[in-house]
Amino acid sequence: MATPANAVSSRKLNLEDILDLRAYERIREESRKTSIETKRKRRIGLGEVVTVMFENRQTMWYQIQEMIRSEKSMHDEQVMEELHAYNPLIPEAGQLSATLFIELTTEEQMREWLPKLVGIESSMLIKLSDGTQVRCITDEAHAEQLTRDYITAAVHYIRFEFTPEQVELFAAGGAQLVCDHPAYGESIDLPAFTVAELLTDLRP
């Protein structure tokens, strides 16, 4: 496994970062616009049914605030539960963290694709310009509950760990997002604006 580039201070969220319901409501519309733009740069469609969303502190903060709003969470204990669930998805320096979505809208699609794509959470990699492959790691906290032998989940949480040299190669030459699953061989060049955005995760 690659050793991540040296991290400085943690990027994880804490209780003081989360606004109460009234304070969040005052800035919600502005936050929603910011989130949409951030996600636009970080969302990659891969083939027919897979989308990869590269997460960061901002996307997870917005997710937590929206969860608290929808559940009307008023107590610190409830907020801490959300922090515990979502903080692992915030990448530290040298890492990229992503949510992998299998985008299915009908029962027929689910019957076709979910058995076929078992193991896809281990089949994602980032291919650098010199051919180096940085293969994903399934998030340990979610792997056990999402992995089955006969059918996959529609959502998976993965991360990529880069050495400092791989970070600089990513910056200089760009990269491809690749799935080498036997039933879903797909690849796509990461747009320059996505590379630039993801460098804010990879670099301290």
Sequence-distant contacts of 23-26: CB under 8 A, at least 24 apart? 24/65, 24/68, 24/69, 25/69
Q: Is the pTM of this model over 0.85?
A: yes
Domain boundaries along the sequence of the chain: 15-202
Q: Could you read off the pLDDT of 159-186 as tens digits, one per residue?
A: 999 999 999 999 999 899 999 999 999 9
Q: Which pLDDT score is estimated for 73? A: 87
Closest CA to 90 of 37, 146, 139: 139
Report the distance separating Cα 113 and Cα 118, nearest Å: 9
Q: Which pLDDT score is estimated for 1? A: 40
Q: Which amino acid is at 96?
A: L
Residue whose tokens read 């061989």: 185
The chain-wide mean pLDDT, for the chain, equals 92
Nearest-10 crossing angle of helices 164-173, 192-202: 160
Instruction: Out of 24-28, 51-55, 137-141, 153-157, pick the least confident.
Output: 137-141
Q: Which pLDDT score is estimated for 145? A: 62
Q: CA geometry: angle at 122 spanning 118 and 123, to 5°?
A: 85
Q: Could you read off the pLDDT of 115-145 as tens digits, one per residue?
A: 999 999 999 999 999 999 999 999 776 666 6
DSSP tag of 191: P
